Each structure stands twice: as structure tokens, then as C-alpha cells.
Structure 1
């Protein structure tokens, strides 16, 4: 990485093809008799019934695992904030570019900036890089079919070129975005209320590939009334403060990322230590 002064390495990391993961999980649960109802939008969740745009589904236990799309359920707009996250991917890069960069393996990459980014070398020889772009839309609105704003693509491209100048001649082939579920204290939780039959899990803040496995096992134990080591974990049945109403929610998130980006700018210019602006941003997040 151009301009890097140091780095750390951890072997406890892996990359996963997200579409293959979802398709594999779907096939596995269908083999066990689970029925998946696609193209059905849940609108309201109440004890014993889920109201959808195609009718009602009744069940004694209902588990809400919608992550960033929780805000679309009636009465849940302030539960978890849908944080937008975007990615870009280059065209396949020639060997000369990889030799210039020195990225010979499949190591995953992340920086330690306040408004951080993450990247990987894909199996077909591209660089895929992600970050926040426009992090939040007023009223907890979410993206439509993964559409990504031009400003976000340009911002991520600038980060990519700053890290790897050798990539500048390469075109950006694709860009897409989605939403993360963010609790007010940025900590995930798993809960189940036996009196109503309602449960939920989420608020992973972008770490869902690992924590969903643990959350799913924990939620299954709770829903089936099992007393296990998992059901006694600190994140179980934890009370989470709701997000502020609009416009305070939008103003707070916008101010938070504005402070983080300005803190990064000052630190990149040679500030001796962490910027105080980042500390103010941390206060706004509740972390």
C-alpha cells in the first residue's frame, strides 16, 4: 500500500463468496423441510402472525432476523439503523500490476482509518474494495436493488487509487451497495420472549458472516426453551436503547461521519496522534 508505515497480520480471517453462501444455506435448509417464501415482503410482525404484501403467515414462534431492513417493519423504524455500505470492483488486473503491488496471495485487507475501508483480491484477479460512501438516508430509507450513487463510487475509487497507484489505468467494472443493521450502542443482541413467541437476532454492524452462526444457534435454543451455555451469554435478552427520531437521527449520523472523515484528513496530513474529532464522533455513536 502506497504510503503505509506499518501493519498487522492475523490468520483468523477468511473470504466467502456471498451469493454461493446464501444459495448453499437455502439448499441446506430446504433439504431439511424448510419452506422459503421469496418475493414476499413482511410489513408487520405481531404475536402469532406476520402480515405480508401477499397475505398473512401464522406461527406460534416468529423470529425477526432482518438486520438492516428491520426499519421497514411497522413500529421498528428506530430499533436498528440501516447503515449503507458500498463496494467497487476493478476489471481483472494483469500480472504486471500484481507484481507492482506485491499482493501475491489471497490476503484480506483493511485499514485503521476512522472511516475505514476493506479490500480483497478476488479469485479472478480483481480488487474489490468497500467502505461507507453515503452512510445513511433520511427516514431510515434503504437502497433500491443495490444502486450506488456516483459520489460513493468516486469516493471509493479515490481510496483505491491512493492505496494502489498502479491500479489507476484499470476501469471500475461494478459497484453495488446494501445495508447493515446498527443498534444504538453498536452491539449485537439475541432475544426471545416466551410469552409472545416473538424473537429476534441482529445488529451485527457488518460482522454478520461470523456472528449470524452463533446467533442462529442461540436463538434456536431460546425458541425451543433450552437452557444452554449459549442462552446465558451477555448478548442474550439485552435491552437496547432506541435510535433518536428524525431529524436528529440523520443529523447525528451525518455529523459522525463528517467528523471521522475530517479526523482522517488531519491525521493523514501528519497529526502526531489520533484526532480529537474522532473522539467526538465516538461520543455521537454511543460506543
Structure 2
């Protein structure tokens, strides 16, 4: 992307208040203690906790574009305690106690992000306002009730509340809403402000961030030599470790093509609403809002009074293609706008000011992979499937602990040293993902048309179950 165009990536970066002109490129070969690929949340949080615990550590971050260019500067602005693997599936995979610890750790991650924002005096439009998952018809209520039952089984019912129709309406007026599940420890923010200001904090600590510096090759280390990140104009050799924090963009390196797939999430945002419009829809707080749809939709109320509406829908592209041309998909963006009017009919005629999108990384089993190989000196984390604002913070804490050889209960969590099965080779990957994408959309449409909940037994539902 050309210089001067970075503000067009998303509304978040346009309004982040930071200078988006790229930082210095790497134009030489250097040595350091830790080298990080990617200046998004995963890479920056790792650098943050490393520099916090070991101020004398030399840390270098390499970014292909600019800080926050990827999902960290484009997402829906939720900091949620949700983990990519649902609590019910976590119980089946890991057992009740581990699933409980995992969920509590995710809740702690939300509070940890808030703690750092306050301590570092970061202005990110943060509000710990909770989150609503809404049943837009009777077909959605079984999902919410099953989720609440699972939270009770985990002994976590104090963090969640099932709201009836009237209680839901007290928070936001949505035609046809039957009930909702309120998640208390969930926040809303401008992620562009957070990622950019976090980078500024790190630079003041001495962390060096190179931008417009694409990593072209990764060379493993050994007991006697450091691992290396190679670029077109130089390299960085890290004596302690390199950290791979490129999320979906890791798929553009041949070595990692099948470790995860880039799935596009698209977003549209309105002009600021006036007082009468807010009064009509009754959205008094800044709760994030979503539904039970399998193909996902999500909203937030921005600090300057806009509604952001996002969802899946951009078709998966053959061979895990990522391109700025895919950030806008007319059919899907128009569908998102139509869906906003279904949620809030009184807003018909409102103007939309920004459309954008970007890829999130998904592993074959939906489980994030956090890893560290002491022999090769390679660490990393990926596969957040849209839950990266909180999960990347957790990844940063885990990776910093293992790189500093610190005893930590976090390293007992099931995603550390977990290696997901690789995705199928093409064309099978493309055919399978496109089948699931189109099928889930049809299942949602059928539920809305018939009022009957999805069975959970279709092939697409079983393939996408997590």
C-alpha cells in the first residue's frame, strides 16, 4: 500500500489520532535478543510483557505494512471473554476443570487489557459495558439457554445473565427479540487507538519497530546460533527467539500455507446518529450486540455515536488468497446494511460512511496455537478467529513467560503447544470451506423463515462445530 493511503484501511485507523506515515524500513542485517514478525496485538503484547519483565532485553518488531494494518486495526472493537472454542466444546475436549480455568483466564484477559489501558494512560474509547447475544426469534432461544446452562455447569453464572424479552428491551429495542444472554465482563473500544498507542509505549521503552519490512523467510536456530527473520533488504538474527505473530497473513508464506486459513470479516459503519434516532432504538449504553446466527453478525456503538455492523460473508478465496481488493465485497457490504435495517427499521435512510474488511486466521480445529520450540528458537501464536483483542493479550503473556523461562500457570492451558491438524490441500480446502459458508447462510435463512432452530445435525453445522 502506498504511503498516505493507510487511513483508508478502516474507520479505526482514520480516527486513531496517530501519525500513520510508515516508520523506518530495515535496510541492514542486525542482531537482537528477540525478533517479532508482525506489529499487531499479538506481537505488540508479547513485546510489552517482555519489556516489562526484562527492561534490558533488545526487542525488534518487523511489520510488512504499518502497525495495526491487519486485524488489530480493522476488527469490530470488541474485547470479549469469548474463546474461539465454545465452552461446551471445551468441556468435551479438555474436561470440566480445564474448561473452567480457560474461561476464567479469558475473563481475566479482558480486565488485564483494561488495567494496561489505565496504567499506560491509553485513550482507546474503552468502556466495560458488557455484551448482548440476542435471539431475534424463538429459533434463537435454544442456543442462549444452552449457553447459560453450560456456564452454570462451569460455576460461572455470576458473569452471565439470561435476560427475558422486557429486560432485553430495557437495553436496546430490537423488533422480534425474544431474549438475550448478557456477558458482563466484555468491553468495547477503538482498536486502532489501542494498537497504535501500544506501539508508542513500546518505542519509549526502547523496542525498535521497523515498518514496510516484509519477512520473506524464517530460518530456525539451534543451541549454537540464533533464529533469523530474512527480508529483502536485510535480516534480524535473534539470540533468544523469534516470534511469529502474523495471524492470517502467515498463510502467505509457503511454509505456513496450510496451518490456518484467512477468513474475511466485513464491516460497515453509519454516520453519527442524532438523539431522536438513539431514543427510537433505545440503545442507551455501549453494550456490544450480536445474534445467534451461524454466519455471524456483530455491532458496537462507537464513542462518537455511530453504529458499526459487521459479519462474515466474503467468500473464501482459492489458495488462501489475501488482497486489499478483497477488503470490500459489494454484495456482502450491502447485505450488512440491509441487516442493520432489519434490526432497527427506524434507521432506514441513514447514511453509511465507511466500508472495510480483512482476514482473520482460523485453524482446522478452531483452537488457537501458541507454541515455543527451545531447540529451533521459534515461538508464535495464531488462530484467533475474530476473538483476538483479548486472546492476543493472553498470547503475549504466555509467550513472554516461556521466552523468559518463567514458571506460569498460563502455560498449562490447552492451546499452549497445541498443534492443529493442517488444512486440506487445494482444491479440497476451497470446496469444503465454500460449501460450509453457503450452507450456513441457507440454514440461517431457513431458521428465520420457519421460526425453527437449526438442528445442529447438518453436515455444514457438524463441520463448523466448535
Q: TM-score, normalised by structure 1?
A: 0.94
Q: Where does residue 229 of structure 2 map in the other structure? A: 50
Residues 216-251 of structure 1: per-residue CA shift (max 9 Å, x gap): 111112222233212222211112101111111111
Match among 179, 183, 204 for residue 363 of structure 2: 183
Write the mapping of 1:59-78 to structure 2, written as runs, cut at 5 A: 59-60=238-239, 61-78=241-258
Q: Does 1:283 find its partner at 2:434?
A: no
Q: Where does residue 199 of structure 1 map in the other structure? A: 379
Q: Where does residue 168 of structure 1 map in the other structure? A: 348
Match among 182, 192, 197 for residue 19 of structure 1: 192
Distance of 1:266 and 1:146 partners within structure 2: 28
Give the C-alpha shift of residue 286 in structure 1. Answer: 6.0
Aligned residue pairs, count: 286
Query: Secondary structure of the residue that 2:361 maps to in structure 1?
Result: strand
Match among 271, 274, 293 for residue 113 of structure 1: 293
Give the C-alpha shift of residue 97 in structure 1. Answer: 1.5
Query: Secondary structure of the residue that 1:253 maps to in structure 2?
Result: helix
Gaps of 5+ in 2: 1-173, 221-226
Distance of 2:390 and 2:462 partners within structure 1: 27
Give the C-alpha shift of residue 209 in structure 1. Answer: 0.6
Give the C-alpha shift of residue 135 in structure 1. Answer: 4.2
Q: Where does residue 124 of structure 1 map in the other structure? A: 304
Distance of 2:376 and 2:265 partners within structure 1: 34
Give the C-alpha shift of residue 266 in structure 1. Answer: 0.8
Q: Does 1:36 find its partner at 2:209?
A: yes
C-alpha change, 1:225 and 1:238, in structure 2 (3 Å) is: same
| Contact 1:184–1:240 (8 Å) recurs in 2 | yes
| Contact 1:181–1:202 (8 Å) recurs in 2 | yes
Write the mapping of 1:109-258 to structure 2, written as runs, cut at 5 A: 109-144=289-324, 147-258=327-438
Give the C-alpha shift of residue 161 in structure 1. Answer: 1.1
My pick for the range that moved more, 38-47 or 221-230, is: 221-230
Query: Secondary structure of the residue that 1:267 maps to in structure 2?
Result: helix
| Contact 2:295–2:313 (8 Å) recurs in 1 | no
Distance of 1:191 and 1:219 partners within structure 2: 8
C-alpha change, 1:12 and 1:132, in structure 2 (3 Å) is: same
Gaps of 5+ in 1: none
Query: Secondary structure of the residue that 1:89 maps to in structure 2?
Result: strand
Q: Which has the higher helix share?
A: 2
| Contact 1:188–1:203 (8 Å) recurs in 2 | yes
Distance of 1:121 and 1:12 partners within structure 2: 17
Q: TM-score, normalised by structure 2?
A: 0.59
